[in-house]
Structure 1
Amino acid sequence: MRFVIDGDGSPVKEEVIRLGKEFQLPVLIITSVDHYTMKEYPDFVQFIYVDKGADRADYQIVKEIKPGDLLITQDYGLASLVLPKKARVFHHSGMEYLPETIDQLLMQRYIGGQMRKAGKRTKGPKPFTASDRQLFYEIMMDVVEAELK
């Protein structure tokens, strides 16, 4: 088991790295070269950088994911591609994407896109707060503890 992060725009990288350290689990962050960093990370954190381009990081994640991995992403489409590979997939809110509900989420995304295309305004996500980070961390602590039992 390892953590895999869809690194483009993930607000919980530091929380996942803390979890990786606490549970001695590897962390793989897949992101575009646009997000290249010189920041020092612990040895258990690995980066894979992909070229710029729509869905490049997603394709690499699908290629890298293994059964039992814990993927953190806000991308419903990516979640739908990874779930059949027997990985668990979580939104940075802590919500787990499930095979039983992914079709409904994809349909909501499609309808929202059609509304925007037609000129309608849709709500964007609310700002991600410190309490949101803490809630994510606590949920993932429970998930990992249960997985390791």
Structure 2
Amino acid sequence: MKILVDADACPKKVLEICIRLGKKYSIPVWTVASFNHNINFENHILVGNAPEETDVKLMNISQPGDIAITQDWGLAAMLLGKYVRCLSPSGQEFLKENIDFLLEERALKAKYRRGGGRTKGPKKRADINDEKFELRLEKLLQKKSP
């Protein structure tokens, strides 16, 4: 088991939580990001800047039982198919039961924006997001630890 972090858009606090909990439970943490991001971490994989290159690398290194941190719903859907648990940086767990709805919602919003409509962006990140994320990640790690 390992914790995989889609570090292209991961908040710094979330990465710190992953590293701290990984050490606590003796679970390796791997980060993957394009060369546009300055991440200094021992288990960091640097990829090019091509579209979806980070996603492809995460798919290639993931294994059943891993935990992935990503806000990319499409990547989460693919990882769920490999039996990888997925959490967003805000602490939302992506499940097979909710991923189809999320992908459909994403497609409808994209269609609306292509037609000239405007949608709201994400809310400003708050401390409660970090607390919720930490609780959810620790709960997943406790399930897997002996």
TM-score normalized by structure 1? 0.92
Following superposition, the deviation at residue 93 of structure 1 comes to 1.5
Following superposition, the deviation at residue 54 of structure 1 comes to 1.2
Which residue pairs with 2:8 in the alignment? Answer: 8
Following superposition, the deviation at residue 147 of structure 1 comes to 2.0
Which residue pairs with 2:133 in the alignment? Answer: 136
Cα deviation 1:77-100 (Å, max 9, x = unaligned): 001111111111111111111112
Which residue pairs with 2:28 in the alignment? Answer: 26
Matched residues in 2 for 1:81 and 1:53: separation?
19
CA contact (8 A) 1:36 1:49 kept: no
Cα deviation 1:20-48 (Å, max 9, x = unaligned): 111111000010011133x4x4xxx5010
Following superposition, the deviation at residue 119 of structure 1 comes to 1.0
Matched residues in 1 for 2:63 and 2:123: separation?
32
The count of aligned residue pairs is: 144
Matched residues in 2 for 1:72 and 1:53: separation?
20
Matched ranges for 1:45-64 at <5 A:
45-64=42-61
Which residue pairs with 2:67 in the alignment? Answer: 70
Letter in 2 for 1:110: A
Query: Helix, strand or coil for the counterpart of 1:101?
Result: helix
Task: State which of 65, 82, 85 in structure 2 corresponds to 1:85.
Answer: 82
Following superposition, the deviation at residue 74 of structure 1 comes to 0.4
Letter in 2 for 1:33: F
Which runs of no fewer than 5 residues in structure 1 stay unpaired?
none
CA contact (8 A) 2:25 2:145 kept: no
The question of 1:98 aligning with 2:95 is answered yes
Query: Helix, strand or coil for the counterpart of 2:32?
Result: strand
Cα deviation 1:26-75 (Å, max 9, x = unaligned): 000010011133x4x4xxx5010100121110011111101100000000
Matched residues in 2 for 1:76 and 1:132: separation?
18
